[in-house]
C-alpha cells in the first residue's frame, strides 16, 4: 500500500503572544488567583507557555498551602448563604455565567488555544460545550427531587430530601481546560455547594478567566474560587481538611488512585474521570465512508488528547484492507500546525511527555512488526508536535494496545469473530468508552451491552454533552458527570421519618 507524505511548515513564533496582547479582556491574562472574592497577586509566579512554540506567553500567581487554607475558610463562610438561595436564583446566576462565556467566546477560545494548543475551532466548540454544562445544571438544580416512601410503619411519613454535601473541590486537567471546570462547578453550585478549583498548571489562564466571568455573573465571594500553583502543595490541604466533603478529579488513573487513597482519611465523596483506552470495533457490514469519518473524529479530535479517543481500532478481516487504505488517505489530509492558524487540524501536545509517549509507542510498534505511515516527519515543528500516524497490523504485545496513547497515533488491529473482538476489547483495566460500527441492530445491541465501559457510541463518534452520564467503569473512574446523575455527586440524602401522626 502506498501512502501520501505529509508536509508541514514551521509555525510562526509569537502568534499566541500577539493574540493575547490584543485581547479586549486584558484582565483574562492578569494571572491573579480568586480567593474569597479578592484577586490575589503573588510575587512568586509560574510561567505559562504556548505548547506550539515553547514561548512564554503569560505568568500566574504561585499560590501556596496557606492560600488554599484561606480558600477553604472562605468557602465555609459562603456555604450557608449559597445553599440558602432558591435553586431558581442559583440557576439564574449559572445562566448568566454561561451567557458571559458565550459573549466572550472568542477571547476564551484564544486563551484555550494559546495555552492548550488545540485548533481554534475546537476551542470555540469547547466554550460552547462548557457553557452548556452551566445551563444544564441551572435547570437540573431545580429538579433535585427527594421522595416520599410508602410507609412500612403505622402513622408515619417517610420522607427523603437531597441536600448539598458541603464544600467541593475540583482538580482539573489541561485537555479541556474550560469544560472540565464547568462540568464540575455547574453541578456543585447548582446543588448548593461552594467549589474550589485547582486547575492544571499548564492551563491556568482559562480557569482564571472563567473565575472573572463567574464573579461578573454574581457568584458570591467564596462560592467559586480558583487557586493556582504547585499541584501537590495545593492538593494537600484539600485532601486533609474534613470540611472538603466532595472531591472531583479528572486526569490520569495514577493520580486518581493517589487522591482516592488520601481522601479515605476523611471519607470524602470522590468522583473520578480517569484514563481511557477505548476499543473502536468495525464489523465488515458497515459503510466504509461513514466508519472512516467516525474513526477520524474518535481518534483525532483534540489532537488525540481525549480520554474518549479510539485507542484500539479493531477491524473485521473482510473490510480490513479497504479500511486501512481509506483511513490512511484521510489521515494524510490532516494539517498539523499552530492552533491559531485557521487550516490546522492537529495542534501540539500540551505536555512534552505526551509527545514522547506517542513517539515511544510508534517506535515500539514498528520494532515489533506493525506497519506505519507518517512516522518521523515532524522535522521543522517543535518537540511537542506529533505528526498523525497510522499503525496497522498492530498486535496485543505492543505498548499501544496496553496503554493509553493520548495523541494522534491510530492503532488498527484485525479481528475475525464477534466473540473474539469482545474478549480483546475487554482485556483492559480501563473502561471509559467504546465504539461499535455495524449495520446489524442485533449485533449492535449484543456488543454494546457486553463491552465493559461506561459509554458506547453505536455508529457514531459524537455522543457527549450535558444530558449524558459521563463516566467510566473499572479503573477509568468513579461516579458520573453531566446528566441528572452529575448533580447527585454533590448531594447527600436526608431521610426523615415523621412518626406518631395519628390524630
Taking contact as CB under 6 A, which single stretch among the options 56-64, 269-277, 361-369, 376-384 is the one that binds ligand NAD?
269-277
| Residue closer to ligand NAD (CB basis): 46 or 393 | 46
User: Which of 11, 250, 401, 405 is the binder for ligand NAD (CB under 6 A)?
Assistant: 250
Contact (Cβ atoms closer than 8 angstroms) between residue 436 and residue 448:
yes
The interface with ligand NAD within residues 428-447 (CB under 6 A) comprises 432
Checking DSSP bridges between strand 409-415 and strand 310-316, what pairing results, if any?
Answer: parallel
* Structural contact between residues 422 and 452, judged by C-beta atoms closer than 8 angstroms: no
Minimum CB distance to ligand NAD smaller for 438 or for 476: 476
Residue 404 makes contact with ligand NAD by CB under 6 A: yes
Q: In what side-by-side order are the strands of the sheet with 157-164?
A: 147-149, 157-164, 491-498
Least distance in angstroms from the C-beta of 457 to ligand NAD: 15
Q: Which stretch binds ligand NAD (CB under 6 A): 45-53, 246-254, 415-423, 456-464?
A: 246-254
Tell me how crowded residue 204 is: count the other CB atoms within 10 A of its CB.
Answer: 27
CA angle 210, 55, 346 (to 5 degrees): 70
C-beta of 433: minimal distance to ligand NAD in Å? 9
Binding segment for ligand NAD (CB under 6 A), chosen from 49-57, 270-278, 334-342, 355-363, is 270-278
Q: Which region, judged by CB under 6 A, interacts with ligand NAD, from 104-112, 249-257, 331-339, 482-490?
A: 249-257
The single residue among 131, 171, 358, 365 that binds ligand NAD, judged by CB under 6 A, is 171
Is 241 a binding residue for ligand NAD by CB under 6 A? The answer is: no
CA distance 260 to 93: 32
Q: How far is the CB of 68 from ligand NAD (least distance, A)?
A: 12
Q: What are the start-end ranges of the E strands in 234-274?
A: 244-250, 269-273
Chain centre distance of CA 456: 17
Instruction: Output the smallest distance, CB 43 to ligand NAD, in A.
Output: 22
> Which residue number places its CB atom closest to ligand NAD?
251
Q: Would you count residue 201 as binding ligand NAD (CB under 6 A)?
A: yes
Residues designated catalytic: 273, 307
Nearer of residues 452 and 492 to ligand NAD, judged by Cβ = 452
Give the range of 114-122, 173-181, 361-369, 395-403 binding ligand NAD by CB under 6 A.
173-181
In angstroms, rounded to a whole number, what is the distance separating the alpha carbons of residues 260 and 275?
A: 15
172 binds ligand NAD (CB under 6 A): yes
Q: Evaluate whether 393 touches 371 at the Cβ level (below 8 Å).
A: yes
Residues 165 and 320: their CA atoms lie apart, in Å, by 51
Q: How far is the CB of 227 from ligand NAD (least distance, A)?
A: 11
Q: SS3 helix, strand, coil % of the chain, rounded to 5?
A: 40, 20, 35
- Name every residue whose Cβ is closer than 8 Å to that of residue 377 and which is 6 or more positions away in sequence: 5, 6, 8, 387
Instruction: Name the minimum Å distance from CB 174 to ligand NAD.
Output: 5
At 339 the three-state DSSP class reads: coil
Task: Give dist(CA 44, CA 496) in Å, integer.
Answer: 51
Say if CB 16 and CB 113 are below 8 A apart. yes
User: Between residues 6 and 72, which has the closer beta carbon with respect to ligand NAD?
Assistant: 72
Q: How far apart are CA 316 and CA 358, in angstroms?
A: 25
Q: Candidates 34-42, 71-79, 245-253, 325-333 — which segment interacts with ligand NAD by CB under 6 A? A: 245-253
Instruction: Give dist(CA 219, CA 353) in Å, integer.
Output: 37
Residue with cell 486533609: 240
Judged by CB under 6 A, the residue of 129, 174, 280, 314 near ligand NAD is 174
CB of 261 to ligand NAD, least distance (A): 11
Q: 3-class SS at 14?
A: coil
- Taking only Cα atoms into account, the Rg of the chain, rounded to an integer number of angstroms, comes to 24
Q: Is 234 helix (H, G, I), strand (E, B) or coil?
A: helix
Q: Is 271 in the site for ligand NAD (CB under 6 A)?
A: no
Footprint (CB under 6 A) of ligand NAD, residues 43-102: none
Per CB under 6 A, 231 contacts ligand NAD: yes
469 binds ligand NAD (CB under 6 A): no
Binds ligand NAD (CB under 6 A): choice among 132, 194, 251, 482: 251
User: What are 133's three cell numbers?
Assistant: 454544562
Find the shortest distance in angstroms from Cβ 391 to ligand NAD: 19
What span, in angstroms and rounded, lies between the C-alpha atoms of 374 and 152? 68
Q: How many chain residues touch ligand NAD (CB under 6 A)?
A: 24
Smaller CB distance to ligand NAD: residue 234 or 488? Answer: 234
For ligand NAD, the closer of residues 447 and 478 by Cβ is 478
Q: Does 408 contact ligand NAD by CB under 6 A?
A: no
If one counts every other C-beta atom within 10 angstroms of the C-beta of residue 300, the result is: 22
Residue 404: other Cβ atoms inside 10 A: 23
Interaction of residue 302 with ligand NAD, rule CB under 6 A: no
- Positions touching ligand NAD (CB under 6 A) are 171-175, 200-201, 231-232, 235, 250-252, 255, 258, 273-276, 307, 404, 406, 432, 477
Amino acid at each position: 500500500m502506498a501512502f501520501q507524505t505529509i508536509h508541514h511548515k514551521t509555525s510562526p513564533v509569537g502568534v499566541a503572544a500577539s493574540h493575547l496582547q490584543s485581547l479586549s479582556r486584558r484582565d483574562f491574562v492578569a494571572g491573579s488567583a480568586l480567593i474569597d472574592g479578592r484577586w490575589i497577586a503573588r510575587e512568586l509566579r509560574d510561567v505559562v507557555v504556548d505548547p506550539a512554540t515553547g514561548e512564554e506567553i503569560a505568568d500566574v500567581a504561585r499560590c501556596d498551602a496557606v492560600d488554599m487554607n484561606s480558600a477553604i475558610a472562605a468557602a465555609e463562610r459562603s456555604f450557608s448563604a449559597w445553599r440558602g438561595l432558591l435553586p431558581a436564583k442559583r440557576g439564574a446566576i449559572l445562566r448568566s455565567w454561561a451567557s458571559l462565556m458565550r459573549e466572550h467566546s472568542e477571547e476564551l477560545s484564544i486563551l484555550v488555544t494559546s495555552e492548550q494548543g488545540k485548533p481554534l475551532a475546537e476551542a470555540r466548540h469547547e466554550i460552547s460545550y462548557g457553557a452548556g454544562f452551566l445551563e444544564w445544571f441551572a435547570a437540573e438544580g431545580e429538579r433535585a427531587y427527594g421522595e416520599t416512601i410508602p410507609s412500612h410503619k403505622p402513622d408515619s411519613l417517610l420522607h427523603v430530601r437531597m441536600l448539598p454535601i458541603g464544600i467541593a473541590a475540583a482538580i482539573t486537567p489541561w485537555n479541556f481546560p474550560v469544560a472540565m471546570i464547568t462540568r464540575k462547578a455547574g453541578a456543585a453550585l447548582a446543588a448548593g455547594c461552594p467549589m474550589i478549583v485547582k486547575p492544571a498548571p499548564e492551563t491556568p489562564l482559562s480557569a482564571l478567566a472563567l473565575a472573572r466571568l463567574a464573579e461578573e455573573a454574581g457568584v458570591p465571594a467564596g462560592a467559586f474560587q480558583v487557586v493556582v500553583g504547585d499541584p501537590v502543595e495545593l492538593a494537600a490541604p484539600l485532601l486533609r481538611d474534613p470540611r472538603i466533603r466532595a472531591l472531583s478529579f479528572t486526569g490520569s488513573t495514577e493520580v486518581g488512585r493517589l487522591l482516592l487513597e488520601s481522601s479515605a482519611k476523611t471519607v470524602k465523596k470522590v468522583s473520578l474521570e480517569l484514563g481511557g483506552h477505548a476499543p473502536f470495533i468495525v464489523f465488515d457490514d458497515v459503510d466504509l465512508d461513514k466508519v472512516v469519518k467516525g474513526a477520524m473524529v474518535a481518534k483525532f479530535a483534540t489532537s488525540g488528547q481525549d480520554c474518549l479517543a479510539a485507542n484500539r481500532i479493531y477491524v473485521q478481516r473482510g473490510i480490513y484492507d479497504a479500511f486501512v487504505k481509506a483511513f490512511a488517505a484521510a489521515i494524510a489530509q490532516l494539517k498539523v500546525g499552530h492552533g491559531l492558524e485557521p487550516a490546522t487540524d492537529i495542534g501540539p501536545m500540551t505536555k512534552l511527555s505526551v509527545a514522547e509517549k506517542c513517539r515511544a509507542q510508534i517506535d515500539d510498534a514498528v520494532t515489533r512488526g506493525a506497519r506505519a505511515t507518517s512516522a518521523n516527519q515532524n522535522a521543522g515543528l517543535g518537540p511537542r508536535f506529533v505528526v498523525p500516524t497510522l499503525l496497522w497490523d498492530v498486535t496485543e504485545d505492543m505498548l499501544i494496545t496496553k496503554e493509553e496513547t493520548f495523541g494522534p497515533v491510530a492503532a488498527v488491529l484485525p479481528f475475525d469473530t464477534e466473540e473474539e473482538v469482545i474478549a480483546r476489547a475487554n482485556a483492559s483495566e480501563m473502561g471509559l468508552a467504546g465504539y461499535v460500527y455495524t449495520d446489524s441492530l442485533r449485533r449492535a445491541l449484543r456488543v454494546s451491552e457486553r463491552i465493559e465501559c461506561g459509554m458506547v457510541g453505536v455508529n457514531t463518534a459524537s455522543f457527549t454533552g450535558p444530558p449524558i452520564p459521563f463516566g467510566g467503569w473499572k479503573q477509568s473512574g468513579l461516579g458520573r458527570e453531566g446528566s441528572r446523575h452529575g448533580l447527585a455527586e454533590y448531594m447527600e440524602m436526608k431521610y426523615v421519618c415523621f412518626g406518631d401522626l395519628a390524630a
